[in-house]
Amino acid sequence: MKITNVEVFVLGDPKPDYEVDMSRVDGLAFVRIHTDEGITGLSEIFSVPPGVARAVLDGPDSLFGSLLIGEDPITPERQWTRLYNSMLHGNRRGWVIICLGAVDVALWDIYGKSLQRPVHELLGGSVRSAHQIDSEAQRQEVAPYCTIVSDSWDRESVLKQQVERVVRLHELGYRAFKIEPLHQPAATIIELTRRTRAAIGPDAMLAVDVGYLWNDVSTAARVINQLAEFDLCFFETPLPVDAVPAYATLTRQTSVPIAMGEHTTTRWEFLQMIDQGGIQVAQPYMTTCGGLTEAKRIVELAQPRGVLVCPGNWSTNVLGMATVQLAAYSPITPFYESAPAEVYWSPLRKALQALAAPVVNGAVRFPTTPGVGITLPEDLVAHFLVAADQGWAYHDVQS
């Protein structure tokens, strides 16, 4: 089998003439790798500007396309090493690593389809120790944790909208939630956590994310320790993403597990945050970290260190299905992030969620479909296709 083409296309939501929530996808790049046997591999590329994705991946004249076309796609690890080593004197972090991660996911998709096996079986198979499970369901399913944001960031909106969305999803059977009291004072963070725990009861998983809110350890430790009574699975990104010494100090001052990793690339950065920063929950995005090949290595580094891997994904179910494949393989991944379309506006997210493995009683069964497990119909691509000359906005407003 040989790679014959590497194709980048961009999908996005329509631009309504009214205000919508944070779920709107302005323009999300996808990569499709073609082979001479008619097997294709797919991945989204979160969150790389489409112009960058095209320069790196689109066609034979692109940075990686020139190295991939004509190559045997089997096995993904070999191609990962080729592409990574090609950047020895260049940029081995940032957007290029995310593009490499997308190539890797697409190659695993091809690999699984070529053998008629789901990717998690090729990663190593699903192994759960009988000594470390409390139900047989844990051998065959994984639970998404629903990330909950509000449409506005005043105190009343945060408390009302986020709790209402949690309640709706809980009634639909979801059993894991992450609230996001971004831009909030300590009193609002504590009150939102209190109300959410009261709404979902003692058994549902609850986490809190404040999006790098604080610069000082003392404030972070004081607030997080007040939340310990609400039985948090983890507290996400209390401090700036690169503040390794600050994370090390904080993790020594609280019993609540500290999580980070949504912007972290390669196993080396995760290893630094685990060994030096003391984080207890690693959150790799499947493309941002460098792909399924690199995510598997992160699991292998985290497990002997007693660290959970709960992958992040504030994006679509194309990335989500790759995440489920890792979770099925990983014995230290009880939860993975999801942006549930039931409570958000985005038509694209809704359409892609309908194609993915369903959530039943709050969990997703390990996939049996060959490859990553999701295929995009051409009519869906045509409906949401974004023209090459249209603009693009980062997924969050930067300041």
For the cut 90, the answer to whether the pLDDT of residue 69 exceeds it is: yes
The whole-number pLDDT of residue 199 equals: 98
Q: Which of 29-38, 227-236, 273-282, 381-390 has the lowest mean pLDDT?
A: 381-390
Tokens 């260190």, located at residue: 305
- Label residue 110 by pLDDT band (50, 70, 90): very high
Q: Which residues contact 187 (CB under 8 A, 6 or more apart)?
A: none
Whether the Cβ atoms of residue 290 and residue 104 lie closer than 8 Å to each other: yes
Between CA 154 and CA 176 the distance in angstroms is 25
Let me know if 353 is exposed, middle or buried by CB neighbors in 10 A (0-12, 13-18, 19+). Answer: buried
User: Per-residue confidence at 124, pLDDT binned at 50, 70, 90?
Assistant: very high
State whether the Cα torsion 294-262-397-23 is positive or negative.
Answer: positive
Which of 121, 139, 6 is closest to 371 using CA atoms?
121
Over residues 278-304, mean pLDDT: 98
Q: pLDDT at position 158, please? A: 98
CA–CA distance, 294 with 341 (Å, rounded to integer): 28
pTM (global) more than 0.85:
yes
Residues in the chain: 399
- Mean pLDDT lowest among 12-16, 60-64, 145-149, 213-217: 12-16
Least confident of 107-116, 127-136, 209-218, 323-332: 127-136
| Burial of residue 355 (number of CB atoms within 10 Å: 0-12, 13-18, 19+) | middle
> Which pLDDT value is given to residue 47?
87
Give the per-residue pLDDT at 390.
74
Give the angle 1-380-62 at the CA atoms, nearest 5°: 45
Average of per-residue pLDDT values in the chain = 95
Mean pLDDT of 305-318: 97
> Is 80 exceeded by the pLDDT of residue 333?
yes
Q: Give the confidence band of 396 by pLDDT, cuts at 50, 70, 90.
A: low
Looking at the predicted structure, is the pLDDT value of residue 62 above 70?
yes
What confidence score (pLDDT) does residue 394 get?
Answer: 59
CA distance 173 to 175: 6
Count of beta carbons in the 10 Å neighbourhood of residue 122: 18
Flag whether pLDDT at 399 surpasses 60: no
15: pLDDT strictly greater than 80: yes
Q: How crowded is residue 338: how many other Cβ atoms within 10 Å of its Cβ?
A: 28
Interhelix angle 76-86/292-302, nearest 10 degrees: 100
- The confidence score (pLDDT) of residue 133 equals 72
Least confident of 8-22, 140-154, 311-325: 8-22
Residue 278, Ramachandran bin (φ over 0: left; ψ between -120 and 50: alpha; else beta): left
Distance separating alpha carbons of residues 387 and 127, to the nearest angstrom: 44
**Longest CA pairwise span in the chain (Å):** 59
- Tell me: pLDDT of 162 over 70: yes
Q: What are the structural domains of the chain?
A: 3-117+378-384 (3.30.390.10), 122-365 (3.20.20.120)
CA angle 215, 191, 20 (to 5 degrees): 80
Q: Is the pLDDT higher at 225 or at 131? A: 225
Mean pLDDT, residues 173-178 taken together: 98
Question: CA 199 to CA 167: how far, in whole Å?
Answer: 7
Higher pLDDT among residues 70 and 390, named by residue:
70
Confidence of residue 336 (pLDDT cuts 50, 70, 90): very high
Render pLDDT for 259-270 as a digit per residue (tens, 0 to 9). Answer: 999 999 999 999
